[in-house]
Structure 1
Amino acid sequence: MDELMTLIAVGLVCLLVGAIIGYFVLARIKPEEQSRAALEKQFNEMQKQQQDYQHQVSTHFDRTAELLNDLAESYRSVHNHIAEGARHMHATGISPLQPLPEGRPVLEANPATNKPSQQPLDYAPRQPGSKGALHEEFGLDKSEEDVKPPMAPHL
Structure 2
Amino acid sequence: MNEMENYIAIAVIAFLSGAFLGILIYRAIRSDASRSARVEQQMDELQQTHTRYQAQVSDHFVQTAHLINRLNQDYRDIHNHLAKGATELCSEDSANSLLSLSSETPEQPIIDHQEEISEIEKIYAEPPRDYAPKSTDDQGTLSEEFGLKENEKNKNSTES
| TM-score calculated relative to the size of structure 2 | 0.49
Deviation, 1:23, is: 0.7
- Which is richer in helix? 2
* Structure-to-structure mapping, 1:85-104, within 5 angstroms: 85-92=85-92, 95-96=95-96, 97=99
- Is the Cα–Cα contact under 8 Å of residues 87 and 93 in structure 1 kept in the other structure? no
Partner of residue 63, structure 1: 63
Deviation, 1:48, is: 2.6
Letter in 2 for 1:58: S
**1:29-51 Cα distance to aligned partner (Å, 9 max, x none):** 45x983x5555444433333322
Gaps of 5+ in 1: 101-155
Deviation, 1:76, is: 1.1
Q: Runs of 4+ in structure 1 displaced over 3 angstroms?
A: 36-46
Q: Distance in 1 between matches of 2:47 and 2:28?
A: 31
Partner of residue 50, structure 1: 50
* 1:12 pairs with one of 7, 14, 17: 14
Q: Distance in 1 between matches of 2:27 and 2:57?
A: 46
SS at match of 1:95: helix
Gaps of 5+ in 2: 103-160
Q: Distance in 2 between matches of 1:58 and 1:45?
A: 20
Partner of residue 129, structure 1: none
Deviation, 1:10, is: 1.7
Instruction: Quote the RMSD (CA, aligned, Å).
Output: 3.0
- Is the Cα–Cα contact under 8 Å of residues 87 and 95 in structure 1 kept in the other structure? yes
% of aligned pairs identical? 34
**1:97-141 Cα distance to aligned partner (Å, 9 max, x none):** 27x9xxxxxxxxxxxxxxxxxxxxxxxxxxxxxxxxxxxxxxxxx
Q: Distance in 2 between matches of 1:58 and 1:29?
A: 40
